[in-house]
Amino acid sequence: MVNKSFKFIRAILISLALIIIGANCFAQTYYVTEDEKGNQTLFQTFSWEQDDNVFKYEFIMEHLVKGKYVEIEHKELKENSIDLSLVNGTYRYKLLAYNYLGFLEVETDWIPVEIVKAYQPKIFDVAPGTIFLEEEQDGIYNVTGSELSSTTEYSLSKNMKNQDGRLKAEILEYDDKHKNKAKIKFDPEKLDVGKWTLVAKNIGGLRDFNQDVVVKWRKAVDLDVSLGYAPIFFISTPEIKKYFEKEDMWFVPEVRVNFFPVKKRFGYFGVGLSGCFSGMDYKPDQYQLNTFFFTGNLDFVYQRYFIPKKLCLDLHAGVGVVGFTGMQFSFPHNIHSEALTSINLSVNAGLALDYYFMKRLYGELGCDFTYAFMKDMQLMFIQPQLSVGWQF
């Protein structure tokens, strides 16, 4: 009774295994061999789940010829795979599993297989070969070659010559009659600076590569120089009002220079120098106070264009110096105090919008905040900016 129950359970397990086999057995891999004369032969590998309760498998394959299936392979196997060299066509196969007593336990249904001939694609040319990111892009490329069918897959990769590319293309047009051209489209927002490899892959995994796809900027670097007006409004700085009876400076010219050596589609990265210089004075009846106020900054700058060649956002932050130079009290009878100079470390951050009136001429509207580390007083101020610049 126990033996019968064990055989029944084992038969169920083997049946389940063969159901899995029937669902998952397919020509999942292939490889090519070459003889001494250079003749190549392609083999398909059929494999299925291994079951420890199976002593041997019987593999039967038939080929559909003129409407009838003809047996072309009939083998007994210990292992769970078989390599076959098949021409393109329609096939079917089945598996039979035998137990350790040599009895047939399970036989699968016929499993259909379609072998499609794989053609080697060739890429002769890609147009445009070079695109410039300053210009409007549609991401469309025209490919010419051979064996470029409607089922060919196209992709772009960087440093991935032996793999599929990470950017997949949409096929807009193809010629299945001549198979020598196709029009494809990539998302233009994902085409960043660099040399790309176009990959064409046909059914069967056969690929060809073209490394002539280049995406770059027409100008490798940018240098922006601007001159403008940047009044200063002091914040929480009672000492300024105490000595000068004002909390702002209206006549403040500013110069700014930005250099961008790194340009990506998602933004430009660079460094900037900026500074301003203006006089301050106070003239009550008893004395006169004069000084010159100056700033100088070294910034990290990021620019992002929202409208190509028209409108961009400028974000910057950095360190610098803020100071007073030639600060001196003057009294009647030609009496003067010693001229003092104070230079202090500062930090700043700001933003601006640049609008290009012409190809290189632009206007800038922005605002900066600066905090100076001073021993005897707290110094903070904001600077609205209105400038005109030129891009070299």
Kindly report, residue by residue over 210-219, the tens digit of the pLDDT.
Answer: 888 999 888 8
What is the per-residue pLDDT for 60?
94
The answer to whether 195 touches 210, Cβ cutoff 8 Å, is no
Identical topology for domains 2-115 and 122-216:
yes
Count of Cβ atoms closer than 10 Å to residue 193 Cβ: 15
pLDDT in tens, the chain (392 residues): 444 444 444 444 444 344 334 444 544 456 666 677 766 677 788 888 888 888 999 999 999 999 999 999 999 999 988 888 888 889 999 999 998 888 888 899 999 988 877 778 999 999 998 988 878 778 899 999 999 988 899 999 886 555 666 789 999 999 888 999 999 999 888 888 888 999 998 876 788 888 889 998 888 899 999 999 999 898 867 667 666 666 778 889 999 999 999 998 889 999 999 999 887 777 777 777 778 889 999 999 999 988 888 899 999 999 999 988 877 777 777 777 777 778 899 999 999 999 999 889 999 999 999 999 987 777 889 999 999 999 99
> Going by C-beta distance under 8 Å and a sequence separation of 6 or more, which residues neighbour residue 279?
251, 290, 291, 292, 293
Residue 249: name the closest of 233, 228, 227, 229 by CA. Answer: 233
Q: What is the pTM for the complete model shown?
A: 0.59
What is the per-residue pLDDT for 9?
42
Provide the token pair at 268: 């430009």
Name the H helices within the chain: 2-24, 238-244
> Which fold is adopted by the domain 222-391?
Porin (2.40.160)
CA atoms within 13 A on the CB side of 132: 8
What is the per-residue pLDDT for 58?
93
Give 195's strand partners: 214
Residue boundaries of the structural domains of the chain: 2-115, 122-216, 222-391
What is the per-residue pLDDT for 243?
63
Q: What's the rounded Cα separation, in Å, for the pair 79 and 49?
A: 10
What is the per-residue pLDDT for 18?
41
What is the per-residue pLDDT for 382?
92
> Which fold is adopted by the domain 122-216?
Immunoglobulin-like (2.60.40)
What is the per-residue pLDDT for 38?
64
CATH number of 2-115: 2.60.40.10
Residue 74: name the closest of 45, 94, 99 by CA. Answer: 94
b/e map of 301-310 (b: 16 or more CB within 10 Å)?
bbbebeeeee
pLDDT tens per residue across span 113-149: 888 777 789 999 999 989 888 787 788 999 999 999 8
Q: What's the rounded Cα separation, in Å, for the pair 305 and 108?
A: 63
